Structure 1
């Protein structure tokens, strides 16, 4: 078996057949391979690995170079994607070996964290990943926001095709990655593909500054307006975009829009009827998963006050004994310092520590989920240092 890294140009001959069989209708339609080949210019910076036997690719994995905010610190992130294998090669450990090689390489190249969307969460849990919230959707009739139509808001919304609104939309996402816990963006090479999306983008501005944006399509007259993430930098941006949706009252029956974990759509208006749904099912709609790749790179993250020493067991990437300390005595908000330590008060798996850092589990839940053992003395410090904070993983990949 030969394991090697391939170029973007090689992906069509090696990874495309595996991905097409795994994720598309099969046999795949004519023209799909050529469409895939044309897209490969947007994958020039991706790290793609394959396992080959007798010159034939049997499995492949890739990491997209991304940036992610984790507790106020923006890190290089490995967005794992394109994980697929030939049916005859499954259950042979090829994907496991490729993933181990990929994560090690991405850490060596500076990635501190990683995220993915799993076909089955239990498979990736073996690699130290832990689940975080899936994006939800809100579905509502636009007339439910009629009170917003009459509101005089200090701003305006511009309707543009994505090709013209791309720069404003992309600039907003790169602003939000510095502000929103869990938010992630692709590098400029991968992001450039979205400029060609056949979608509208509504761009909300106030005092000349972009404060909100949403991509969408209208599937039919009297049908649905289907939107991607409702992105905004605050309440005004949200209100301007919702007002824009409300003005489609005589055109569409429903608006369907994706939301971050902090949105509460039932409070958007009075007498507002809305269905908010977050669906997780396998293999097509797995909730996202994350993990830490580099402990020392976490120094500088926002954290509550406290100090504790932990051991991360049985992990080739972040295993060892680590002293974690945060101190706000200088009058500023606390920041985390990570150094080598001794005499741990807690033993965590990589997934258990990642759950604490990302804010999806507290120390008691880490124990009850079987992700570690925490002494009673360590619980207050870990609870204080890593308060619950739901991450918003904006990027789909």
Structure 2
């Protein structure tokens, strides 16, 4: 069956766009279509062909993300779609498997995607790893002194400045994309947004806001700061829109502490599951992973199950930051037994091993779990991009 999968090219764009517009229920204007063509040229698109006709497809983005400040190559999956007459025939399953093998071959040890259904992608090894906090703030509750010292300037599109601030901020979280100029042009700065940059009293840029105002609502698309002072200046700037907006909508990291800094913390706050992640190549990922194990003298033994990519399944010993694959026969009986989904969540930092263990999501001895907890960096997952 795999011979039905082909890599699609520009000559297939009419079929590709037709399927996307049908599946995701939108229409491209002539101008939007031209932009979409330029953007899609950079996708690797795998299609399932039935008698020369496109039945289903997925787009693969070659990206990188930060993990404990280190860059990891990542395959981003998007635009997964099938025509109705070809659904429930395993086409997407085969496309996903093909894409994962392609990622592995190209050194992309991680994969992210935005699911139409969490249960569907869980079957193939992805798991919820990014959960954002959504605020719906009445702007009159922002009237206070936010202790920012300096000033704010609205600016035109200055990718160099924004990229410098974004990159410093992004390294504080696990999963944030490593952006290039094209990504900024095609994915972040689409032309309808306002951009404001904060400066301290030494005229040094400390943060920025990408936002737009419509129907009495200020919607924050990106809130980036390098210092508490920069954060305060951005909050004050948002509050200064009180004469023209009634409400502020913003997405923040799951561990954001804004409610503790508000005089009145009772306002709508919603935890929203966002993106899923998956380790593509367990041995390669573990080898590159930034364990903080210098103070951990004992090894951790780990057995991983991966039904969709059986090459990942097996037993590993982690000791002194080094990872060795071992035979299952010599695995300690106290070892941690987990699935690829649980391993992904733990190593990305979405949940600690002790949290998952307490919830009964994997087995092992409490001591091994404690050791693994000590080995893993503590860093919040966060993702502001979409694909």
Q: Give distance in 2, aligned partners of 1:114 and 1:388.
A: 21
- 2:279 aligns with 292
Q: Give distance in 2, aligned partners of 1:363 and 1:312.
A: 14
The within-5 A match list for 1:366-377 is: 366=356, 372-377=362-367
- Asked whether the equivalents of residues 110 and 277 of structure 2 are also in contact (C-alpha less than 8 Å), the reply is yes
Match among 152, 156, 160 for residue 157 of structure 1: 152
Paired positions, count? 371
Q: Give distance in 1, aligned partners of 2:314 and 2:181.
A: 35
SS, match of residue 155 in structure 2: strand
**Structure 2 alignment gaps of length 5 or more:** none
Q: Does 1:355 align with 2:356?
A: no
> In the TM superposition, what whole-angstrom CA distance separates every residue of 1:12-66 from its partner, at most 9, and x where no partner exists?
32322222111115xx4xx447623432222333221110111111111112122
- Asked whether the equivalents of residues 50 and 59 of structure 1 are also in contact (C-alpha less than 8 Å), the reply is yes
> In the TM superposition, what whole-angstrom CA distance separates every residue of 1:296-336 from its partner, at most 9, and x where no partner exists?
3443514354321212223335323222234xxxxxxxxx3
- Asked whether the equivalents of residues 130 and 351 of structure 1 are also in contact (C-alpha less than 8 Å), the reply is yes
- 2:326 aligns with 341
- Asked whether the equivalents of residues 42 and 192 of structure 1 are also in contact (C-alpha less than 8 Å), the reply is no
- 1:232 aligns with 225
- Asked whether the equivalents of residues 173 and 380 of structure 2 are also in contact (C-alpha less than 8 Å), the reply is no
Greater mean deviation of Cα atoms: 197-206 or 342-351? 342-351
Q: Does 1:98 align with 2:92?
A: no
- 2:17 aligns with 16
* Distance change (3 Å), C-alpha of 1:54 and 1:312: same
Q: How far off its partner does 1:396 sit?
A: 1.6
Q: Give distance in 1, aligned partners of 2:155 and 2:166.
A: 17
**Structure 1 alignment gaps of length 5 or more:** 281-286, 327-335
SS, match of residue 263 in structure 1: coil
Coordinate RMSD, CA, aligned: 2.5
Match among 248, 260, 264 for residue 255 of structure 1: 248
Q: Give distance in 2, aligned partners of 1:54 and 1:37.
A: 29
- Asked whether the equivalents of residues 141 and 264 of structure 2 are also in contact (C-alpha less than 8 Å), the reply is yes
Q: Give distance in 1, aligned partners of 2:357 and 2:87.
A: 33
- 1:217 aligns with 212
- Asked whether the equivalents of residues 291 and 377 of structure 2 are also in contact (C-alpha less than 8 Å), the reply is no
The within-5 A match list for 1:80-95 is: 80-95=77-92
Greater mean deviation of Cα atoms: 70-79 or 374-383? 374-383
* Distance change (3 Å), C-alpha of 1:226 and 1:11: farther
- Asked whether the equivalents of residues 159 and 181 of structure 2 are also in contact (C-alpha less than 8 Å), the reply is no
Q: How far off its partner does 1:74 sit?
A: 1.7
- 1:284 aligns with none
TM-score by length of 1: 0.85
- Asked whether the equivalents of residues 71 and 178 of structure 2 are also in contact (C-alpha less than 8 Å), the reply is no
Q: How far off its partner does 1:4 sit?
A: 1.1
- 1:332 aligns with none
- 1:113 aligns with 110
* Distance change (3 Å), C-alpha of 1:72 and 1:374: farther
Q: How far off its partner does 1:156 sit?
A: 1.9
Q: How far off its partner does 1:145 sit?
A: 2.5
- 2:8 aligns with 6
Q: How far off its partner does 1:369 sit?
A: 6.7
TM-score by length of 2: 0.87
Q: Give distance in 1, aligned partners of 2:354 and 2:14.
A: 48
* Distance change (3 Å), C-alpha of 1:107 and 1:187: farther
> In the TM superposition, what whole-angstrom CA distance separates every residue of 1:81-124 from its partner, at most 9, and x where no partner exists?
11111111111111111111111111211212111111111111
- Asked whether the equivalents of residues 216 and 227 of structure 1 are also in contact (C-alpha less than 8 Å), the reply is yes
Greater mean deviation of Cα atoms: 38-47 or 88-97? 38-47
> In the TM superposition, what whole-angstrom CA distance separates every residue of 1:183-230 from its partner, at most 9, and x where no partner exists?
22444433321333311111122334332112111103xx11111132
